[in-house]
Amino acid sequence: MISLATPPAGLLAPYSGEGILPLYTTTVAVSGGEARHARASGRAVSDDGNLDLVLRQPKELGGDGGGTNSQQLFAAGFASCFHGAMTIAAASKRMRLPPHIDIAATVSFARDPVDGLFLIVAELEVSLPQMDACEAAALVAETQRICPYSKMSRVGMNATVKFV
């Protein structure tokens, strides 16, 4: 049996370097399938092979369904990152978490009334049963402060698009 450990609370130690310090980097390549349109018929594969998914446009957007889509991938990333950040935040404050924590991310692909184009809207639902409400609210607030996905939703992110 494999023993899995929670990341150390020491990850929250301040960093004072000059530039961004990558702690983990991955690459996921997406290619279009028979429709030559990745959202409709593509495949997403990570550089280590641990992620290998069939991409399909959801029926609600005119696709055939039958695979995952970018909104589901974003929701999974946001929920799992927030869950992990909450665990680290609790450990750094020496708080005991209940044995069962649920984080549900709802992500919508939507129209933007500002420019008429598209945007992503996300909502997290955090369930901390058996935890004092004030203590839970403080933990959620701290988690929002340290979770990279939450930060990205507040202030944006560094992104570069390169034509090769």
Per-position pLDDT tens, the chain of length 164: 777 777 777 778 888 999 999 989 999 999 987 777 777 788 999 999 999 999 999 999 888 888 999 999 999 999 999 999 999 999 888 888 888 889 999 999 999 999 999 999 999 999 998 899 999 999 999 999 999 999 999 999 999 999 99
pLDDT at position 41, please? 81
Which pTM value belongs to this model?
0.89
Same domain, residue pair 55 and 129? no
At 154, the amino acid letter reads: R
pLDDT at position 34, please? 77
Range of the domain at 44: 26-68
Query: Can you give the CATH number for the domain in which 33 is found?
Result: 2.20.25
**DSSP secondary structure, 87-99, as one string:** HHHHHHTTPPPPS
pLDDT at position 39, please? 74
Tokens of 86: 């909450």
Same domain, residue pair 99 and 123? yes
> Based on the structure, what is the number of domains in the chain?
2
Same domain, residue pair 134 and 75? yes
The 10 Å Cβ neighbour count of residue 147 is: 21
pLDDT at position 32, please? 85
Q: Which residue has the tokens 């000059």?
A: 18
pLDDT at position 109, please? 94
